Amino acid sequence: MRTSVERRTVDLSHYPDLVVVYLGMRVNQITGIKTLLGFGPKISSSVTAQPEGLLRHETVIYSLFPMHVGMRQYWRDVDALLKWTRSDPHRQWWHGFLKDSGGTGFWHETYFRRGGMEAVYDDVPQPIGFTGFAPVVPARGPMFGAASRGGMEFAGPPVLSEQELYEDRAS
């Protein structure tokens, strides 16, 4: 059989610690449109700054109604990803979102080339990704941080500890 299809693949041998992250923000309430549209320029400027270790960033439209957009990112290794997530502006965004989701839901799923996956879904009302088939549990205790969810140990503390997140709400 002779094919007219040009088949190609990639050699990932130079990327043994590759991390792929899918992220999404979904509008849950009308006020979420403003929240979602406000993130666009922030994301663009952070990607334009070319954080160390970010190999590729791609925008993804999951649906138009409800409005649900996101991105797929490829990182050299988990240390580069974590360095960026634990610094500004990401740290500020994450703190702000966890105080008030602004009528949106946010989720991410992370895949590690060396093995392991982890995910979190904040204010996401309908099944997406892993929540469509795996048991959904509260992101508390050992399921609170990305490291323990992914069965890994990362250097340094998370962007926000479980105690910090829930302590402020109890006050």
Long-range contacts of 87-95 (CB under 8 A, 24+ apart): 89/42, 89/46, 90/46, 90/159, 91/159, 93/39, 93/42, 94/159, 94/160, 95/159, 95/160
Q: Would 5 be classed as within a structural domain?
A: no
Any idea what the CATH number is for the domain that residue 33 is in?
3.30.70.100
Domain containing 100 equals 19-133
Model pTM above 0.85:
yes
Which pLDDT tens digits describe the chain residue by residue (171 residues)?
A: 999 999 999 999 999 999 999 999 999 999 999 999 998 888 888 899 999 999 999 999 999 999 999 999 999 999 999 899 888 888 899 989 999 999 999 999 999 999 999 999 999 999 999 999 999 999 998 899 888 888 877 767 778 889 988 885 555
Q: Would 88 be classed as within a structural domain?
A: yes
Do the Cβ atoms of 22 and 72 come closer than 8 Å?
Answer: yes
Q: Would 123 be classed as within a structural domain?
A: yes
Count of the separate structural domains present in the chain: 1
Q: Would 104 be classed as within a structural domain?
A: yes
Q: Would 8 be classed as within a structural domain?
A: no
